[in-house]
Structure 1
Amino acid sequence: MTASAPHPEHGAEELCAQGRALYERAVREGRIGAAEAEAAPCLVRLGLLQPTVADTRLLEPVAAAVALRELLRASAERVAAERRREARIAQSLEPLLRMARELPGAVPDGPAVVRVHSGLDRINQAITGAMADAIEECLAVQPHVTHTRTPPELHALAFDRDQALLDRGGRIRTLYQHTMRHAPSVQARYERLRGDVQARTLNEVTERLLVLDRTVAFIPASRDRSLALEVRQPAIVRYLATVFDRLWHLATPLHPLLPPRPSADGATPRQRAIARLLVEGHTDAAIADRLGMNVRTVRLHIAKLSAALGSVGRVQLGYLIGRSEILGGTDEAPPS
């Protein structure tokens, strides 16, 4: 007598080929030994075999229709028990729901108006889901952050979901800082995207912002961007969209690109922005952070301003800048 093959692993509600063959044999012979049935435990689990009255060491087959009826009854009882549990949960929370609805400024029942997402994976899952639902527009602010680096796979994910929105007939408007105008990743992005997509730049922008169809917004909740808020409160989302619109009208086109505006006073737009912040009393580090530059570049521009105005000290430089025409020009032209 050869050893039987081991019973294959499968789901609790499944019948394997080995069990089917053993059940057919039990039907033909009228019964089988309990030891033989151990080769296919799914038969007992599904109720297709049961002990005989005369000898528990023998098992007899149960009609498949009877076994099915018993399995469905057990399943129906589990579903009914779960529904009773749901009713008890709803009943226990009803006082809290009623209290929330009666509070001043309460909003109608629906999805949470503000949700916190923790970790880049969860944040991107939430953004990807919201982008998949968007059909009209995406408004984005993408500041240059020197202390973080976006993984390449996240760039690819963002590109795919942006192109999917464009393919649905939506539009994309993105704001960057002037320092990103010549970034290879930005240039490559707009060479590949197809559809109603535009980008503009400013010297300074807000923290990262994403507004979709003017119904949902995402904003960072920590400096390292490991936390993000998903906002669906209509008044807050409208406010954020309005802020974006104001900045957009002040910004300089990046894509499609327009010819740069000439500088009348000889100072570059970047130097005018540095001069304005310098006169306001900001340190070199603070200026670099606000303009998305490194401190060495800021100090290089300050040195050029000092040489152009004949300054011998920082205090005198601020005074000379104030007397010059440097601050009279706009600081929102693309940097030279």
Structure 2
Amino acid sequence: MAGHGADEHPHGADRLCEAGDRVYSRAVRRGRVPRRDAEPVPCLMELALLHPDPDDMEWLVPTSPQEVMTRLLRGMYDEVSASQRRVGSAVAAFEWYAGLGRQAPAVPSATEGPAIRVLDGLARIQAAMDEATRACTTEVLTVQPGGIRREAELSEGLHRATELRGRGVRMRDLYTHVARHGQGLLTYLELMGGAVEARTLDEVIERLILFDRTVAFIPANAERTMALELRHPALVEYLGTVFERLWRLAIPLTAPLPDTGIEGISHREQSIAELLAEGHQDAVIAERLGISVRTCRAHIARLSETLGAASRTQLGVRIAQAGLDGAHRPAAPVTPPRSRIPDCAMR
């Protein structure tokens, strides 16, 4: 509870600072204190706990504790009464609004649940994914960036893939070309018996899992310990369109990668050459193609040797001269033949 000037202080009369407590206690015990003793604690004057002695202005006398308590309680009572009146007004107003809602016809929701929900922690992410899997009836679309899929990651999604296959759900997965070299995918292919169709690209977008074109999951941080559950129709439709356009550009897993047309240059080295021509650093190239930085640099060294480049600057010139900068790269087939692999998507 504050007296005049209390807004300038971090406390009121009911919670004095340590220095103020000492001076006020001394004043109560002795009946008065010298004005100079109160100079370090102006809060006592501002809160009217001390006031000048009419007989000697160099001394200050305390306001009696009983008077201070009465003032505090009166102020608190006034504050509580005002709060009760505000509560009553708010309840009355929103009861009126609630009545309007009961009178209006029900409008069907465009989505089930919130349009965007943040899932914090792997346990919440897994629970939401399991729920979406149980509700899925037609298709699952996934994008899996990175390189070779670890068997632990693949095993994690096996139970979902098996459950979906049992209900006749169609599954399509997009990977980077590097994923072709993982034995885990071939093992899943045998286990799933052709339930999932997969294609690969040089690079793909960040991880995406989309169920029935109604709910999608994307990472919410770099560590992938948080995710966004998206149910807004416009967002989900947009992500579905992105997937379909990447899908048309991708190459079936069992189909060979197109030849570069340049002796001694592999498809991966051509992809690296294109990204080098765009000015990207080794770490960025490695991340986008799903390989390690060490592997990326080994390919760059081999590329330099093949093209006869003695420096990075010269390598850039040789890449352009050889037509490896992507300027004249042939487009991928629009409708390549279908192939199937197991669902390794939801991990």
* Structure-2-length-normalised TM-score: 0.61
Aligned residue type for 1:297: T
Question: RMSD of the TM alignment (CA)?
Answer: 2.9
The Cα offsets for residues 5-58 of structure 1, whole Å up to 9 and x where unpaired, read as xxxxxxxxxxxxxxxxxxxxxxxxxxxxxxxxxxxxxxxxxxxxxxxxxxxxxx
Aligned residue type for 1:123: I
Once the two structures are TM-superposed, the CA of residue 260 in structure 1 deviates from its matched residue by: 4.2
8 Å Cα contact 1:145/1:292 also seen in 2: yes
Aligned residue type for 2:142: A
Once the two structures are TM-superposed, the CA of residue 329 in structure 1 deviates from its matched residue by: 3.6
Structure 2 Cα separation of the partners of residues 161 and 199 of structure 1: 16
CA gap 1:312/1:92 in 2 versus in 1, 3 angstroms = farther
Once the two structures are TM-superposed, the CA of residue 186 in structure 1 deviates from its matched residue by: 2.0
Q: Counterpart of 2:281? A: 283
User: Does 303-312 or 124-133 show the bigger shift?
Assistant: 303-312
Aligned residue type for 1:171: R
1:124 paired to 2:121: no
Unpaired runs of at least 5, structure 2: 1-90, 334-347
Once the two structures are TM-superposed, the CA of residue 258 in structure 1 deviates from its matched residue by: 2.3
How many residue pairs align between the two structures?
232
CA gap 1:307/1:124 in 2 versus in 1, 3 angstroms = same
8 Å Cα contact 1:272/1:331 also seen in 2: no
Q: Counterpart of 2:304? A: 306
Once the two structures are TM-superposed, the CA of residue 157 in structure 1 deviates from its matched residue by: 4.2
After superposition, where does 1:133-144 map in structure 2 within 5 Å? 133-144=135-146
Once the two structures are TM-superposed, the CA of residue 163 in structure 1 deviates from its matched residue by: 1.7
The Cα offsets for residues 228-258 of structure 1, whole Å up to 9 and x where unpaired, read as 111000010000011000111111111xx12
Structure 2 Cα separation of the partners of residues 169 and 92 of structure 1: 49
Q: Counterpart of 1:324? A: 322
1:184 paired to 2:183: yes
SS of match in other structure, 1:271: helix
8 Å Cα contact 1:113/1:233 also seen in 2: yes
Once the two structures are TM-superposed, the CA of residue 325 in structure 1 deviates from its matched residue by: 2.5
Aligned residue type for 2:266: T
SS of match in other structure, 2:213: coil
CA gap 1:94/1:241 in 2 versus in 1, 3 angstroms = farther
- Report percent identity of matched pairs: 43
Once the two structures are TM-superposed, the CA of residue 331 in structure 1 deviates from its matched residue by: 8.8
Q: Counterpart of 1:193? A: 192
Q: Counterpart of 1:45? A: none
Q: Counterpart of 1:262? A: 259
8 Å Cα contact 1:166/1:196 also seen in 2: yes
CA gap 1:270/1:212 in 2 versus in 1, 3 angstroms = same
CA gap 1:279/1:157 in 2 versus in 1, 3 angstroms = closer
8 Å Cα contact 1:117/1:227 also seen in 2: yes
Structure 2 Cα separation of the partners of residues 274 and 124 of structure 1: 35
After superposition, where does 1:66-215 map in structure 2 within 5 Å? 108=110, 110-144=112-146, 152=152, 155-215=154-214
8 Å Cα contact 1:269/1:330 also seen in 2: no
Of 267, 272, 277 in structure 1, the residue corresponding to residue 270 of structure 2 is: 272
CA gap 1:151/1:93 in 2 versus in 1, 3 angstroms = farther
Once the two structures are TM-superposed, the CA of residue 324 in structure 1 deviates from its matched residue by: 1.1
CA gap 1:93/1:239 in 2 versus in 1, 3 angstroms = farther
User: Does 212-221 or 154-163 show the bigger shift?
Assistant: 154-163
* Structure-1-length-normalised TM-score: 0.63
Structure 2 Cα separation of the partners of residues 281 and 296 of structure 1: 18
SS of match in other structure, 1:172: strand
Once the two structures are TM-superposed, the CA of residue 214 in structure 1 deviates from its matched residue by: 0.4
CA gap 1:115/1:289 in 2 versus in 1, 3 angstroms = same
Moved over 4 A (4+): 91-95, 106-110, 330-333
Once the two structures are TM-superposed, the CA of residue 150 in structure 1 deviates from its matched residue by: 7.1
SS of match in other structure, 2:252: strand
Aligned residue type for 1:121: A
Structure 2 Cα separation of the partners of residues 151 and 124 of structure 1: 18
Q: Looking at CA atoms only, which structure, 1 or 2, has the larger radius of gyration? A: 2
8 Å Cα contact 2:112/2:231 also seen in 1: no
Q: Counterpart of 1:218? A: 217
8 Å Cα contact 1:163/1:194 also seen in 2: no
8 Å Cα contact 2:251/2:257 also seen in 1: no
SS of match in other structure, 2:223: coil
